[in-house]
Amino acid sequence: MNAPAGELAPHLADDLGIDTTMTTAMATETTLLNPRFYTTDFEELDRVDVSSVRADWDKLIAQMASDPNKGHFKKNADWDQIDWAGMEPTLRREFIDFLVSSCTAEFSGCVLYKEMKRRGSNPDICELFNYMARDEARHAGFINDALREAGVAVNLGFLTRAKKYTYFRPKFIYYATYLSEKIGYARYITIFRHLEANPDQRFHPIFKWFREWCNDEFSHGEAFALLMRTDPKLTSSFANKLWIRFFLTAVYSTMYVRDHARPAFHQALGVDIEWYDQEVFRKTSAIARQVFPIEIDIDHPRWLPNLRRMRDAFGQMDAGTRRGGFAGWAQRMVGGAKAAYGFAAIYTIPVIKTTPPVNVRLEPSY
Ligand SMILES: [Fe+2]
Ligand SMILES: [Fe+2]
């Protein structure tokens, strides 16, 4: 049984010097790097006709309807008790930050998918978004349970009301959400496989749940791949290819910068951040060949140096914010210019061109 929120937890939260208000504020904050909440043109999305991908669509929906992970997101005997108060403070702070940002990202999917289900009238679209919202609600709830044990659960109801929503046209939702589902799969499975080989580095039980978990993300990504296939222009026109390139650059570089802000967390897992990120990019890019006709060359000599430049630039901007005053402002401006330079240097790396296969569907294989 979970400890009811607010019973044992507050004492622990006091010891940790952090509380629910703080984690909710962390989740609510809108910055360039934090997970966002999205809204879109639900009517346009509702008009999507999936008949051109019907056979694959029905198979995917049947798989989601069978609900393979129905009983998965429950604590059982594998859930070891964690001594939160005894955890090394830097690790604890970074781990809580990791959980809060993962919970926000999962919940962001839940809110968007549920809203589509609520507003739509197209049975295909409503059914899909209903299943995806169900999965994301479980994912966010499970992470929040882990946070609750430390007395710092995110107030998800408050978050829904207080968080700023970013509007994206449906096609941008496809690119961004497809990538974040597939990158989510790649992140979870890479950590799971690493800890399977190095169980002594598994410092929290939640990682044991990642394998089945990432299969949900994989299917969600498949759904967006099929949605994109319903309109070939989305992945073939010149302008859209530039957009895909933009989203690849933005999603990958954001992940790199954010992961590097958690050195103690990755050290505790025994993971070299740069290795881990490259591994995740490699898997995501290999999967994304199913729909995207281009991929970023992550072995290009400009790739890593400019990611590092962006990481340093964001560090500089943070320091500027903490410093305040004119000097802080100047530091932020210099950091911003440096980050923009890094982004442009990556965006202009010649892309690798590929030909998406006729048959779009994939199964998880890592
Ligand atoms: Fe999820
Ligand atoms: Fe997902």
Structure tokens at 302: 């400009």
**Ligand 1 center from residue 106 Cα (angstroms):** 5
Ligand nearest to the CA of 213: 1
**Ligand 2 center from residue 10 Cα (angstroms):** 31
Angle at alpha carbon of residue 258, lines to 254 and 262, rounded to 5°: 165
SS3 295: strand
**Ligand 2 center from residue 67 Cα (angstroms):** 14
Q: From first to last of the 366 residues of the chain, give the pLDDT tens digit.
A: 343 333 344 455 555 566 777 788 777 777 777 888 999 999 999 999 999 999 999 999 999 999 999 999 999 999 988 889 899 999 999 999 999 999 999 999 999 999 999 999 999 999 999 999 999 999 999 999 999 998 888 889 888 888 889 999 999 999 999 999 999 999 999 999 999 999 999 999 999 999 999 999 999 999 999 999 999 999 999 999 999 999 999 999 999 999 999 999 999 999 999 999 999 999 999 999 999 999 999 999 999 999 999 999 999 999 999 999 999 999 999 999 999 999 999 999 999 999 999 899 988 889
How far is residue 319's CA from residue 311's CA, in Å, rounded to a whole number? 12
What are the φ and ψ backbone dihedral angles of 60, each rounded to 5 degrees? -65, -45
Nearest to 177 by CA among 144, 138, 230, 222: 222
Rounded alpha-carbon distances, angstroms, from residue 269 to 152, 189, 265: 22, 14, 7
For the chain, domain boundaries? 9-300
Ligand nearest to the CA of 103: 1
Position 35 scores a pLDDT of 86
DSSP tag of 150: T
SS3 47: coil
How far is residue 70's CA from residue 244's CA, in Å, rounded to a whole number? 34
**Ligand 1 center from residue 135 Cα (angstroms):** 6
Q: Which residues pair with residue 38 across a beta bridge? A: 166
Position 12 scores a pLDDT of 55
**Ligand 1 center from residue 183 Cα (angstroms):** 11
**Residue 200 CB burial class (10 angstroms; 0-12, 13-18, ≥19):** exposed
How far is residue 214's CA from residue 219's CA, in Å, rounded to a whole number? 9
- The pTM of the full predicted model, rounded to 2 decimals, is 0.92
**Residue 119 CB burial class (10 angstroms; 0-12, 13-18, ≥19):** middle
Position 5 scores a pLDDT of 37
How far is residue 205's CA from residue 210's CA, in Å, rounded to a whole number? 10
Domain 9-300 class in CATH? mainly alpha
